Structure 1
Amino acid sequence: MVRDTQDTLAKFALTGNDHEQLVRAGKMVMPILDDALEHFYSFAVADPEIAQFFPDDSVMAHARSAQKKHWQRLLSGTFDEAYFASAERVGTVHFKIQLPFSMYLSGYSRANAYIQQRLLERSGALLGKFAKHKHGEILGTLTRAFAFDTYQVIEAYFAAQKAEQDTAFKYLSDGIKRMSERDLSQSIPGPDESDYPARYDQVRQSFNELMGSMRDIIVTIQDSTGNLNRVASEVSQSAGDLSRRTETQAATLEETAAAVEEINNSMRSSTESTSKTEEVVLVTRNNAATGNEVAEQAVLKMREISESSVQISQIISVIDDIAFQTNLLALNAGVEAARAGDAGRGFAVVASEVRGLAQRAANSAKEIKSLVTSSTQHVDAGVAMVDQAGAALTSIVQEIETVSGLTADIVNSARAQSTGLSEISVGVSQLDTVTQQNAAMVEETAAAIMSLQQDTQVLSDLVGTFRVSGNTPVPIGVTRAGLSEAPLELLPRAVGY
């Protein structure tokens, strides 16, 4: 509190002659101070709003004693350190008990009016005309003195209020400064643990709740970034493994595609060969069918030859019979020619020749018959063999038809397999392309995860700069030394006299 005594007293016209008048007035007022105090406290007890500040008689007695000492210092006109310290204590107590200004000022006005009234009565009874002449100046001096005292008390009130605010704001300011320095480990201590004013405890609690919330957020972020960093590291490692496996898979698919293409080419060649085989089988079947027909015709011809041989044999039998008859006729002719003698000698020669011819015809017929018989036997054997050959050709034709059907099935199956392999080749090629794209995407993903891991590490390092542990409240440094301690007897003061 500023204590420029002379300037302040001059403003209230309490210097020089005015000061002397105050001293004289004080001497006049001293004898009636007890009456003034009794008058006021009687009024205070009757007013419920004021009476609540006096819970018992001892409190009122202390208040009255302290107020009397303070007025005595005021009315003595010394205005020394004791007076200003007393005024400061009064204002400080008023602030601590939150005494309304209306009660304080109304109490002072009542006390001032009572004192002035008593002075007027005494001046009229004791001093006569001189007192009546000077009472106006004296009352004015007393009024200014009480106003000066009121000013001192109110100034002390606001000084105490400002000191309390400064204390609270210092705690808050230091707390905010720690927050700006990323230190969330300390909360603002409560009024029971420090000199933090209880009047601003709600602000302190709100600040501590904010600090706690931020602390929880930072801890959560720290945990989350730690987990995210760990997961990102694991995902990065997995992405690397996946990238390597994808590259291996891509190489394997490329080899598989090449192998499938070779198989597809081989299958095409096999299909073409099978198709040619089918054509050859068809040609063979046709040739076998033609051979079967030829065999059947040969059998028919052989049978015709066999029948002709029978006819020839029959003709030869006829010729043999004719030769036999001719031989008999020739023999009879020879006998007759012999009977005829010389006349029949020429006829005998002819008969002999005819007989020789008949004999040779008979012999030739026998030989031809023997040959025809042998030929017939050979023809029969040939017919049997041709029949067997025909049956074999028929069986071969049937087997060839079976083979032809199987070959056709093989060709169709080979074509279907070739088509399937072509589709597989296309699918493998597409899969190879997709795998190559996946490999590229995996590399991009790995790079993105690496970037995310780096950003997460930056965030983790940033969050790691916050202090969130060690939450023991630490006083910020504001002590009670900034305020003068008020005597205990002034704490229950009602109106601050």
Structure 2
Amino acid sequence: MIPQFIRDLTIGKRLGLGFAVLLMLSMATTAIGITRLNAVASATRELLKEPLATERLVSDWNRNISAGVRRTSAIARSSDPSLATFFAEDQASSTKNSSELQKAIGERMRTVREKAVFAEVGELRKVYLSSRDQIVALKKEGKLDEANQLLDQTFTPAAKNYLIKIDELQGEERRQIDQTAIDIEASYEAGRNLMLILAVVMLIQGVLVSWLLSRSITGPLANAVRFAREVASGNLTATIHSDRRDESGQLTDALQTMVTNLSTLVTGVRIATDNISVSAQQIASGNADLSNRTESQASSLEETASSMEELTSTVRQNADHAQQATQLAVVASGVAVRGGAVVRQVVTTMAAINDSSRKIVDIIGVIDGIAFQTNILALNAAVEAARAGEQGRGFAVVAAEVRNLAQRSASAAKEIKTLINDSVNQVEQGNRQVDEAGKTMNDVVTSVGQVAGIMQEITVASQEQRAGIEQINQAITQMDDMTQQNAALVEQAAAAAESMRNQAVMLLDEVRAFTIADGTPVASLQTYHPLSLAH
């Protein structure tokens, strides 16, 4: 079980802690090894400084004593009295050397055993030196037998005991050397064993730390991988939780948040795709109705455009006729004006009849000519009124009236001509009739002017109506074009709605693999049959 405080550490800190532990163990092992090596080196130095050096001194002392024993035995055994004198210098030097060795060795004695043996060696040396000096003295005095006897009885046992004790002292030193070597070996083995133990402990600790670090890192990652695989398989109901505060815990929390958001997103996508499907179906249905209505409207507009073209043609023809009628009315107005002037002249003539009846024949001729011209003009006006149709009916009435008046004037002229003899008696009556004719011509002139004005207004209105109808016709044509374009747009909208519906189905197929919070896979859309649009 990994402690909580370690699990709360970041991966970097955990790795740093693990390596720090390993480094501390390595440093501890190195320090212990150095300490043990220093101890072995110190023991070796002590060995070289004390026991081994002392053993060498004792060995030198032993060799010096052995040489002195052989030299004394040679002096004692020799029959030459001068031999003692010959070896006297060597003997003195050996004695001095032995004393120095004894002093140096005495200073190195540390243990009780060493001191005791060294004291015994010192006592035996005294006996040895005493017997040696006695032999040398006897030899110098020429007492050979006594010298040999002293050699055998005293010197040789003393020298033997002396050398044995020196060998014992040397053995003690060698024992200390061996003990020091044993201690060095033991220290080496202890250090080696301790380093091996520390190495094993460091290895175990390293394996344990590596295992703990690996488990603390790979465990949450393995859970995250399993969780990610469940999510990848489409299971959005999977949950993952971690009480860690390191990167793996943050990763776990981020994965859980991601899956929660993804589940919300998939739910929203499912609802959106359902809504898109329904909306697309409604749009397709609406487009179908709109297409039908648009096509009906297009047919109606085509019929309306055809009717408007016919109406435009009729109005254009009426406008042309009105223009011609206006021109004829202007001409008739001019004729009526001239007729009025003639009537006024008739009135003047009739007035002159009162003064002179002699001019009656001329006046009758003038009246007959005016009547004839008026009749012709009225006939022409009637013809033009007949051509104008309904618009010229009123003008025809006026023209007929004018013709009647002209015929009446002609009849009156004939009667006047016939009754010229009675002219004097009927002048007054003729004057009254001319006045009435003048008034009638004024009325005709006024009526013709009014007809001309009306015809002018009719012409202007017809032209304006033609322009308006042409504009309406153009607008209807444009509306028909726009209706055709709208129909095409409706078809495109229907195709876009169908494409949107298909994409919604594909999108829902994609998200169908996910299982969301209700525990069921994302439902598929209802079977959709695209509507057939009339073309």
TM-score by length of 1: 0.53
| Corresponding residue of 1:162 | 214
The alpha-carbon deviation at position 221 of structure 1 amounts to 3.8
Greater CA deviation, 110-119 or 376-385?
Answer: 110-119
After TM superposition, give the deviation of residue 453 of structure 1 in Å. 2.5
Query: How many angstroms apart in 2 are the aligned matches of 1:459 and 1:266?
Result: 62
How far is 1:105 from its partner? 4.8
- Counterpart-to-counterpart distance in 1, 2:209 and 2:307: 100
Report if aligned partners of 1:112, 1:146 keep a CA contact under 8 Å in 2.
Answer: no
Aligned-pair CA distance for 1:311: 11
- Kindly state the Cα deviation for residue 223 of structure 1 after the two structures are TM-superposed: 4.4
State how far apart, in whole Å, the 1-side matches of 2:356 and 2:215 are.
159
Gaps of 5+ in 2: 7-13, 44-174, 361-418, 520-535
Give, as a single letter, the amino acid of the residue that structure 1 aligns with 2:22: F
Q: Which amino acid aligns with 1:419?
A: A
Q: Residue in 2 aligned with 1:172? A: 224
What displacement does 1:214 show? 3.4
Deviation at 1:114, TM superposition (A): 9.3
Shift, 1:384, TM fit: 0.7
Residue of structure 1 aligned with 2:430, choices 372, 382, 385: 382
CA shift, 1:156, in A, is 2.7
Give the letter aligned to residue 450 of structure 1.
E
Identity over aligned residues, as a percent? 22
Task: Check 1:398–1:250 CA distance in 2 against 1; reply closer, same or farther (3 A cut).
Answer: same
Instruction: Answer whether contact 1:186 1:470 (CA < 8 A) is retained.
Output: no
1:467–1:230 CA distance, 2 compared to 1 (3 A):
same
Output the amino acid matched with 1:172. Answer: A
What letter corresponds to residue 159 of structure 1 in structure 2?
A: W
**CA shift at 1:389, angstroms?**
1.4
Which protein shows a greater Rg?
Answer: 2
Q: Within 5 Å, which residues of 2 pair with 1:83-94?
A: none
CA contact (8 A) 1:164 1:197 kept: no
Matched, 1:262 2:183: no
Report the alpha carbon displacement of residue 141 of structure 1 after superposing the two structures with TM: 3.4
Secondary structure of 1:185's aligned partner: coil
1:249 aligns with 2:297: yes
CA deviations on 1:337-373 (whole Å, 9 max, x unpaired) are xxxxxxxxxxxxxxxxxxxxxxxxxxxxxxxxxx989
The 5 A counterparts of 1:419-458 are 419-458=467-506
Alpha-carbon distance, 1:115 to partner: 10
Q: Distance in 1 between matches of 2:191 and 2:420?
A: 194
Q: CA deviation at 1:414?
A: 0.6
Structure 1 residue 212 and structure 2 residue 253: aligned? no
Tell me the amino acid that sits aligned with residue 385 of structure 1. Q
**Paired residues of 2:32 and 2:195 also in contact (CA < 8 A):** no
User: Does structure 2 conserve the Cα–Cα contact (< 8 Å) formed by 1:309 and 1:372?
Assistant: no
Name the CA shift for 1:143/1:286 in 2 (closer, same or farther; >3 Å): closer
Which residue of structure 2 aligns with residue 183 of structure 1? Answer: 235
TM-superposed CA distance for 1:462, in Å, is 1.7
Secondary structure of the residue that 2:515 maps to in structure 1? Answer: coil
Distance change >3 Å, CA 199–CA 157, structure 1 → 2: farther
> How many angstroms does 1:401 deviate by?
0.3
* Rounded Cα–Cα distance in structure 1 between residues aligned with 2:459 and 2:420: 55
Compare relative contact order (CA 8 Å, sep 6+) and give the higher one, 1 or 2: 1
Q: Which residue of 2 aligns with 1:132?
A: 183
Q: Which of these residues, 448, 453, 456, is aligned with residue 408 of structure 1?
A: 456
Decide whether aligned partners of structure 1 residues 302 and 111 sit closer, same or farther in structure 2, where only a CA change above 3 A counts: same
Contact 1:184 1:466 in 2 (8 A): yes
Per the TM alignment, residue 443 of structure 1 is displaced from its structure 2 partner at its CA by: 1.3
Tell me if structure 1 keeps the 8 A contact 2:234–2:515.
yes
Deviation string 1:148-181 (CA, Å, 9 cap, x unpaired) is: 2331232133223323333222211112212322
Distance 1:253 1:229, change over 3 A: same
Residue 216 of structure 2 aligns to a residue whose secondary structure is helix
Instruction: Judge conservation of contact 2:353–2:359 (CA < 8 Å) in 1.
Output: no
1:143 to 170, 173, 195: 195
> Aligned partners of 1:100, 1:244: CA distance in 2, in Å?
86
Aligned to 1:18: none
Describe the SS at the equivalent of 2:463. Answer: helix
Does structure 1 residue 292 correspond to structure 2 residue 337?
A: no
- Structure 1 residue 260: Cα displacement: 1.5
Tell me if 1:392 matches 2:440: yes
Tell me, which stretches of 5 or more residues in structure 1 are unaligned? Answer: 1-51, 54-93, 313-370, 472-497
CA displacement at 1:129 relative to structure 2: 6.3
How big is each residue's C-alpha offset from its partner over 1:109-143, in whole Å with a ceiling of 9 and x where there is no partner? 7789999999999xx99x94684375134542343
- Aligned residue pairs, count: 315
Taking structure 2 as the reference length, what is the TM-score of the superposition? 0.50
Q: Distance in 1 between matches of 2:450 and 2:433?
A: 25
Structure 1 residue 407: Cα displacement: 0.9
Identify the residue that residue 284 of structure 2 maps to in structure 1. Answer: 236
1:277 and 2:325 matched: yes
* Partner-residue secondary structure (3-state), 1:209: helix
Counterpart check, 1:101 vs 2:22: yes
Distance 1:303 1:283 in 2: 30
CA distance in 1, matches of 2:180, 2:456: 159
Q: Distance in 2 between matches of 1:437 and 1:111?
A: 98
| Cα distance per residue 1:29-73 (max 9 Å; x no partner) | xxxxxxxxxxxxxxxxxxxxxxx99xxxxxxxxxxxxxxxxxxxx
